[in-house]
Amino acid sequence: MIDITLARALHVVAIVLWLGGVGMVTTVLLPAIRRQHPPAGRFAQFHAIEHGFARQARWTTGLAGATGVYMAWRLDLWDRFAAAEFWWMHAMVATWAVFTLMLFVIEPLFLDRLLARRAARQPEATYRLIERLHRGLLALSLLTVAGAVAGAHGLNLFDW
Ligand code: HEM
């Protein structure tokens, strides 16, 4: 069982590093760039800094996914996906899928270029959109973390 405990520890470490970064970008970096740069320069500034974080986030989302699937396989938890009380298992997979798609497919394939083009035409609105997107992703992630910790330690919202 030590392997499951280690997988759980790695799962949480990966999530702390990854979502800590999302929190930092959303609540500190984006507002700081908005305050310090005129609209026309904001996207380039943000993109230059966020690039390094995206590289790191690819590793941490990968590790979170691998350790999560390992735990589900070792503990044989698949039937949880058929029960509403385990909504937080679905939330983990959904959150992971959204970030994985963003980091590996949508951003590199077209979102980066689309946003750069839009930022050249409408810098203020594009930056606002990026901020909103990050706030939404952070809210989804935090809800998932709260649900997963509470659920994994026995809270059942459907049976008070
Ligand atoms: C493919 C994606 C994922 C899978 C398959 C997965 C699977 C799991 C499993 C099987 C557990 C143990 C549950 C238990 O002991 O009853 C767990 C725990 C947990 N997961 Fe995930 N997970 C995934 C992604 C995520 C994501 C994206 C987050 C955060 C946003 C997350 C946050 C957590 C937390 C906070 C715990 C509880 C740790 C604890 O307090 O013991 N997981 N996950």
**Residue 159, pLDDT score:** 81
Helix axis angle for 123-152 and 39-74, nearest 10°, is: 20
Q: pTM for the whole thing?
A: 0.94
Ligand 1 centroid to Cα of residue 102, in Å, is 20
Reported as a single tens digit per residue, the pLDDT across 94-114 is 999 999 999 999 998 999 999
Which atom of ligand 1 sits closest to the CA of residue 145? 35
| Average pLDDT of every residue of the chain | 96
Tokens (6 digits) for 68: 């999560």
152 has a pLDDT exceeding 70:
yes
Ligand 1 centroid to Cα of residue 155, in Å, is 15
59 has a pLDDT exceeding 90:
yes
Which atom of ligand 1 sits closest to the CA of residue 15? 29
Ligand 1 centroid to Cα of residue 36, in Å, is 37
**Residue 160, pLDDT score:** 66
